[in-house]
Each structure stands twice: as structure tokens, then as C-alpha cells.
């Protein structure tokens, strides 16, 4: 963990070790809080935020923070930095969590200045995803003549069929997969394990990749590292494939498929899998929640945006859709 003031270090250590937050989440908390305290110091000293040194962050400074300091910071984020509501809400969440920790756990703060501050309203954004045809095109861009074909095709197949996270995919071990390839286990957020059942496409892609993995790892000049022997997906250097490598190859195939420039990524493949299961496969939202490994149903509901074609079909399914306008013949006869 990088060097930071003691009061900030104790907080992020608590989030990571006790509350089991991911390293990425902890890093975001630390960055958001460092920005906040630079802002507070800058406002009081007149020194620019870039020049502010928060290594002197101590109890007296933390105790001196008032709700007005937090409101001023939120205003700075939205008006001067132009941050969107979602970003402002995330930074406020870090501030709230920090002061809650130091008021309820360490008791450094007697009165939590962030307790009654409301977060900005956030409009739920529709997730970016690929259509069924675009998903097929993406799979077809993997060159069968490439030595990485079996591995890359299997990676894309698991993303598009299972809706797993990037960290879950790179963390798959051979022992996580049942011998009949019917299901596998992944470790999600908070080290929570869940079972993913494999369909025919997944079984076929894994079955085709396993012998290739064995052959390539045995012929590689670099010995298979001890910490990678059980990894399902290996890099060219015979190590567990890294998240960065997977992101790179996904971007590569997205560009090849002519889908670049749309903000698509590995996580958008998760969106795609969820959307296809809901819109095309008719999977109900509760089942989708378990497949994706969400704790809250509200998190899953963002994936259940209804496609234009589905809305059109719903309108056509109305029993009055084809009735047409009925002329009042008698009224017309009277007029004559």
C-alpha cells in the first residue's frame, strides 16, 4: 500500500482488511480523500491544490472539517472541474465513509460533518452492449490460424456467455472446472465464490483449448511458474494471463470487428451477456442476479433495459394493435 498519512492509511486498511473491499476500490477512496483534504488545506491557506502537502494531515485538521467544507468541495467538483453527478457522488461516498469510520471506530471525530449531506441524484445510465449479430461478428474475428486462437476464442466465449468479470476470468483455475465441463466456480467481489453453469459453446471452447494449453505450455522455453501451474488461461510467457493482456486482446478483436470507438471493453462484454440473456433468452431478473453475482437486485436491474425491438414487439402484442379505426356508418348515413 502506497505511503499516505496515518489517519488515511488506517481508514483504507480497515476498508481492505476488515470490510474486504477490492484494491481498486481502496485506491479510489484514497485518491478521492487526498483530493478533498488538499481542497480543504488550499481553501484555508490560499495555496494551490497542486502545491498542498497532505502528509501533515492530523487529528486537528480532521476534527476541524465542517459541513460547509464538504459542500464547498462538492460545488468545486461540479462547477469548476465539471465532474458528473456519478463522480461527485462517489467522492462524497468516500468522505462519508471516512468520517463515519473516525467517528464510530476511532472516535477521533465527535460529530460526523458528512452524516446529513445528501448525495446528488444520479440518472441511471443504460449500459453499453453489443447486439447478437455484433457478438457473433466479434467471435468470428478470431483467426483460426493464429496460435492463440483456442485461448482467445475461449476467453471471448466465456465473457459473452457467462457475464463474468475480468478478475473472475483471469482467476479461473483448472481445479475450478468440473471434470465433465458442466460448470465452473469463480471468485467474485468480496472473495465470494459462485457457480457458473456452462452451455454447449462454453464446453466446446474449453474442451478445444485445454489440449492446446497443455501442448503450448510444455513447449514454451520459459518454465511454467509455480504460481501459474493451475491457471486456466496462460500468457505466451507461461504465466497466468494478466487482466491487462485480456483487456488488450479484447480491444484488438473489437477493433477488428469494426466496433471500435463505441466505448466497448471487457466489462461491456459482461453487459452484453446480461442483455442477451434478458432480451433474447427471456431470463428473469432474479436468475440474472445470481448468474452475475450481484448482492442487490437494483444492481442487476440496470441490465434489464428493454431493447427497441422488444418494445416494438410488446406494442404489436396488444390485442387492439390490429383492430383499426371503426367507421360510424349510421352516423354518416344520418348526415346525408
**Which residue among the candidates 165, 240, 268, 289 is catalytic per the annotation?**
165
User: For residues 176-210, b (16+ Cβ closer than 10 Å) or e, as one string?
Assistant: bbeeebeebebbbeeeeeeebebeeebbebbeebb
Active-site annotation holds for 271:
no
Active-site annotation holds for 2:
no
**Which residue among the candidates 129, 153, 278, 303 is catalytic per the annotation?**
303
- Cα radius of gyration rounded to whole Å, the chain: 26
Question: Which whole-number Å values give the CA distances from 158 to 150, 169, 240, in the listed order?
Answer: 12, 8, 17
**Which residue among the candidates 21, 151, 240, 270 is catalytic per the annotation?**
270
Active-site annotation holds for 326:
no
**Which residue among the candidates 100, 128, 194, 267 is catalytic per the annotation?**
267
Active-site annotation holds for 129:
no
Active-site annotation holds for 189:
yes
How many other CB atoms sit within 10 Å of the CB of residue 324?
Answer: 7
| Phi then psi dihedrals of residue 196, to 5 deg | -115, 125
Q: How many CA atoms lie within 13 A of 188 on its CB side?
A: 16
Q: Kindly state the cell numbers that stand for 84.
A: 458528473
Active-site annotation holds for 270:
yes
**Which residue among the candidates 96, 189, 203, 305 is catalytic per the annotation?**
189
Spatial contact of 249 and 155, defined as CB atoms under 8 Å apart: yes
Please identify every residue annotated as catalytic.
165, 189, 267, 270, 294, 303
Amino acid at each position: 500500500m502506497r505511503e499516505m498519512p496515518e489517519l488515511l492509511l488506517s481508514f483504507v486498511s480497515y476498508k481492505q482488511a476488515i470490510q474486504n473491499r477490492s484494491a481498486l476500490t481502496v485506491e479510489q477512496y484514497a485518491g478521492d480523500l487526498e483530493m478533498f483534504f488538499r481542497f480543504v488545506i488550499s481553501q484555508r491557506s490560499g495555496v494551490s491544490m497542486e502545491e498542498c502537502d497532505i502528509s501533515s494531515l492530523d487529528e486537528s485538521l480532521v476534527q476541524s472539517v465542517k459541513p460547509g467544507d464538504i459542500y464547498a468541495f462538492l460545488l468545486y467538483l461540479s462547477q469548476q472541474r465539471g465532474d458528473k453527478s456519478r463522480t461527485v457522488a462517489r467522492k462524497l461516498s468516500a468522505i462519508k465513509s471516512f468520517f463515519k469510520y473516525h467517528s464510530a471506530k476511532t472516535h477521533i471525530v465527535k460529530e460526523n460533518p458528512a452524516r446529513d449531506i445528501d448525495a446528488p441524484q444520479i440518472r441511471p445510465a443504460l449500459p453499453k452492449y453489443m447486439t447478437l449479430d455484433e457478438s457473433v461478428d466479434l467471435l468470428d474475428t478470431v483467426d483460426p490460424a493464429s496460435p492463440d486462437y483456442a485461448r482467445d476464442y475461449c476467453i471471448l466465449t466465456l465473457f459473452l456467455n457467462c457475464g463474468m468479470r475480468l478478475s473472475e476470468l483471469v482467476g479461473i483455475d483448472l481445479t475450478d472446472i468440473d471434470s465433465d465441463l458442466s460448470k465452473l466456480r469463480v471468485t467474485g467481489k468480496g472473495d465470494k465464490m459462485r457457480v457458473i453453469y456452462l452451455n454447449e459453446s462454453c464446453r466446446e471452447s474449453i474442451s478445444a483449448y485445454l489440449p492446446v494449453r497443455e501442448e503450448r505450455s510444455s513447449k514454451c522455453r520459459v518454465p511454467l511458474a509455480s504460481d501459474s501451474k493451475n491457471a486456466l488461461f496462460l500468457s505466451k510467457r507461461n504465466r497466468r494471463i494478466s487482466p491487462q493482456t485480456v483487456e488488450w486482446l479484447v480491444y484488438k478483436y473489437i477493433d477488428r470487428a469494426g466496433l471500435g470507438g463505441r466505448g466497448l471493453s471487457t466489462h461491456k462484454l459482461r453487459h452484453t451477456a446480461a442483455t442477451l440473456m434478458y432480451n433474447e433468452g427471456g431470463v428473469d431478473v432474479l436468475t440474472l442476479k445470481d448468474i452475475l453475482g450481484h448482492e442487490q437486485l437494483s444492481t442487476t436491474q440496470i441490465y434489464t433495459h428493454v431493447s427497441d425491438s422488444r418494445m416494438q414487439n410488446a406494442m404489436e402484442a396488444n390485442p387492439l394493435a390490429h383492430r383499426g379505426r371503426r367507421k360510424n356508418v349510421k352516423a354518416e348515413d344520418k348526415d346525408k
